[in-house]
Copies of this chain bind each other. A is one copy, B any other.
Amino acid sequence: MDSGRLEAFSDGVFAVAITLLALNLAVPGPGHGPLTRQLTDHWPSFAAYLVSFLTIGIIWVNHHTLFKNVARIDRVLLFLNLLMLFFVVAIPFATATIAAYLGHGAADAPLAAVVYQGVFEGMSLSFGVLFYWSIWRKHLKIALTPSAARAAAIRFGAGNIAYLVAIGVAFLSAPASLLISGLVAAYYVFEHIPARPGEAQPGTA
């Protein structure tokens, strides 16, 4: 079973989820005060859009990088992939929730941020399981070298721990928590999880 259709379906879900993020950018419109103020008051939506867009973008890039090296898929992989998509699909909801509370609901902003980071942690963990399943079941076209596998483990660990930290920080400050997930996304723009041998060295691919 090759991975073509798994990738096509996943790409569809990634594309729809990333595009739905922008639905949340809508401002109230004429009759609700000057547009300048509407746009500036709306900063949490723009900030959350930026972080969520980057996060979905990164997970897409990692998904793409992984499946280039996956030779065949099994039913477990199909369902692990669905599990990951379950969290991806929830991102527009989580984004809208944190955006709504960052600006207006001081008391509830921490909970909204916990929901947001929890969805990211779920996505990140399920992607990790997907990744290790592919290695463990030897589904990769080219096996990872020990150093590439070690580098992948470190980076996965880093991402998952960062989201756990973001959940913890959320209880103290929702904006700080949003910032952390923004930094995680920025980190993965420059560092990537190796999915082929020889990709262990940062910056070579």
Chain A positions near chain B (C-beta within 8 angstroms): 1, 5-9, 11-23, 25-27, 29-31, 34-36, 39, 53-54, 57, 60-61, 64, 67-68, 74-75, 78-79, 82, 85-86, 89-90, 92-93, 96-97, 100-101, 104-105, 107-108, 111-112, 115, 189, 192, 205
Q: Which residue of B has the minimal Cβ distance to A14? A: B9
Can you list 28 residue pairs at the A/B interface with Cβ under 8 Å? A1-B68, A5-B11, A5-B67, A6-B64, A7-B8, A9-B11, A9-B15, A9-B60, A11-B12, A16-B16, A17-B19, A18-B85, A18-B89, A19-B89, A21-B89, A25-B90, A26-B97, A29-B105, A30-B108, A31-B104, A34-B107, A34-B108, A35-B108, A53-B86, A54-B82, A57-B85, A61-B75, A75-B205
